[in-house]
Amino acid sequence: MTGICKSFSGVKVLSDVQFDLKAGEVHVLAGENGAGKSTLIKILAGVHTDYQGQISLNSQPVRFASIHEATAAGISVIHQELSLVPSMTIAENIFLGREKCRGLWLNKKEMTAEAGKLLAEIGLDVDVTRNLGSYPLSIQQMVEICKAIAFDCRIIVMDEPTSALTDVEVEKLFTIVDKLRKSGCGIIYISHKMEEIYRIADRITVLRDGEYVGTATAEELDRGKMVKWMVGRELNQQFPRHKSAPGQVRLKVSSFILPDPAGKPMPAVNDVSFSVRCGEILGIAGLQGSGNSELLNGIFGTYGSQAHGDFELDGQPYKPTTPANAISRGISLLTNDRKANGLVLGMNIIHNITLAALKKFSPFGWLQPNSETKTAAEQKEALNLKAASLKMSVDSLSGGNQQKVVMAKWIETEPKVFLLDEPTRGVDVGAKHEIYELMNKWTSNGLAIILITSEMPELLAMSDRIIVMHRGSITAEFDSEQATQEKILHAAMGIQTN
């Protein structure tokens, strides 16, 4: 791909970008959110057809007019967002759009058999005749990957494929990637996770603000240099956690039990006790299914009175009944899926920021638009939110800026305890750094933070204390000095260590 330019309604999002992919290599496409990676991929996949520049495939110039043409040419894309139908079975999903038929009739038997074979090949043990929706997100993601590689393809694009995967599944994925590489496939891999990039990259191309910065092999381009390429400046410290001096106990949780929300016999959170102090960041580690996310939701009252246990907030008894009650008591929850339940995407930035604290802006029920706008402008300043106008709807913002809107919303409720579930998921390097700085600022003002993150370096660097959960129970607790990646992983997988 050479000289690729693309504009959206007059705004240039790609200018003169080049990219090349050899057979049998993994080429990582890196850049901050909004750098133009996804747009470039969409041009390659035939989604965007009105672009300038030249694409050649095996030295033949091509121009895909539709997704179908690109697929026929052997280009397969695994999208960031799942493009599967949860109410259909796994087999039906894999063959969606290319069903095997005998005349007019679907050949279910053959599809089921073949789907089972494909999934077994990548080491996924599931029942292909069950509905996809009955499996957790990580399995769905694996099915999506399987669907993409199930058919002969020469180029596979993976756009943040691991964002919903557990470490074990990530390993499986990498095995698959290796196999594909050896079989001569070219793989374009997009990720924000440094560990992953250096695990599998042969070469790395960096984009910034829609422009081509450079391409280098993974050996040549060390982390510092890559981050510099991506943000255009040096980030001297990737994780800037200031050591804090925790104050008195803010939230104390004892014997917390939460039945499984899906109705399985084993409780999602089983007899968990811990406490967090003012100004402290408590990290909760755990693999998928460990119950750490359910724990935060339980404290916030998402599950209502299903959650049992004794809670003390600043020495006062607290009972999680509804989110509204939790908010009024000074507990905020940043959920791990901002699009599904963090933001009202169609509403503008101002209204999203003031939503959770709206009573403050509407004495006697009457809204005060002026004070709303003023507050939103202050938050924009404080969080370095990049938006052309506060009246833009939030769905037009990049991931990092959307996350800042969610954070602004919760800070407006003046929380005492801030529960952060994957605060940096789908957020670019520059914004991640800013979020870490914000966490530092908040804790220095006495806020207590409970942090869940699947990025181990982030957890290790930002937490003052770490507890590890496995299948709903706490299996270990570490000070930040004692904790290592290995120790945490052992505890998270339920392996006893002494």
Binding site for other proteins (CB under 8 A): 300, 302, 322-324, 326-328, 333, 335, 340-347, 351, 355-356, 358-359, 361-362, 365-367, 369-370, 373, 391, 409, 413
Q: What angle do CA 290, 191, 215 make, to 5 degrees?
A: 160
Q: Least distance to other proteins from the beta carbon of 339, Å?
A: 9
- CA 125/CA 316 separation, integer angstroms: 48
Q: Considering the complex, what minimum distance in angstroms separates the CB of residue 93 from other proteins?
A: 24
Give the shortest CB-367-to-other proteins separation in angstroms: 6
- Closer to other proteins at the Cβ: 202 or 337? 337
Q: What b/e readout covers 447-477, taking b as 16+ CB neighbours within 10 angstroms?
A: bbbbbbbbbbebbbbbbbbbbbbbbbebbbe
Q: Shortest approach of other proteins to residue 39 CB, angstroms?
A: 17
Classify 494 in phi/psi space as left (phi over 0), alpha (psi -120 to 50) or beta: left
Closer to other proteins by CB, 288 or 393: give it.
393
Are the CB atoms for 24 and 184 separated by under 8 Å?
A: yes
Q: How far apart are CA 307 and CA 269, in angstroms?
A: 9
Residue closer to other proteins, measured from CB, 83 or 328: 328
Rounded to a whole number of angstroms, the minimum distance from the CB of residue 342 to other proteins is 6
Rg over alpha carbons for the chain, rounded to the nearest Å, is 24
Amino acid code (one letter) for 411: I
Cβ at position 376, least distance to other proteins in Å: 11
Q: Which residues contact 35 (CB under 8 A, 6 or more apart)?
A: 207, 208, 209, 210, 230, 428
Provide the sign of the torsion angle of the four alpha carbons 288, 291, 292, 297, taken in this order.
positive
Specify whether the CB–CB gap between 283 and 449 falls below 8 A: no
Distance in Å, CB of 178 to other proteins, minimum: 39
The smaller minimum CB distance to other proteins, of residues 56 and 322, is found at 322
Which residue lies nearer to other proteins by CB, 184 or 261? 261
Closest of 10, 33, 16, 143 to residue 89, by C-alpha: 143
- Rounded CA-CA distance 213/197 in Å is 17
Identify which of residues 5 and 355 has a Cβ nearer to other proteins in the complex: 355
Nearer to other proteins, 134 or 373 (CB): 373
Instruction: Give the relative orientation of helices 167-182 and 137-149 as an angle to the nearest 10 degrees.
Output: 0
Looking at the DSSP assignment, which residues form a beta bridge with residue 211?
15, 208
Tokens standing for residue 249:
């106990």
Least distance between other proteins and beta carbon 327 (Å): 4
203 strand-pairing partners: 27, 217
Q: How many angstroms separate the CA atoms of 66 and 75, rounded?
A: 12
Closest approach, Cβ 411 to other proteins, in A, equals 13
**Which one, 318 or 436, has the nearer CB to other proteins?**
318
450 and 296 Cβ atoms separated by less than 8 Å: yes
Q: What minimum distance in Å lies between the beta carbon of 448 and other proteins?
A: 19
Please spell the DSSP secondary structure of 63-116, one letter per residue. Answer: --SSHHHHHHTTEEEE-SS----TTSBHHHHHTTTS--EETTEE-HHHHHHHHH
Length of the chain measured in residues: 498
Least distance from C-beta 354 to other proteins, angstroms? 8
Least separation in angstroms between residue 256's CB and other proteins is: 19
Say which residues have a Cβ less than 8 Å from residue 421's Cβ, sequence separation at least 6. Answer: 293, 296, 333, 334, 335, 336, 452
Q: How far is the CB of 341 from other proteins (least distance, A)?
A: 4
Q: Which is nearer to other proteins, 227 or 357 (CB)?
A: 357
Distance of CA 28 to the CA centre of its chain: 18
Dihedrals phi, psi of 268, to nearest 5 degrees: -70, -35
Neighbours of 381 (CB within 10 A): 9
Closest to other proteins by CB, 26 vs 376, is 376
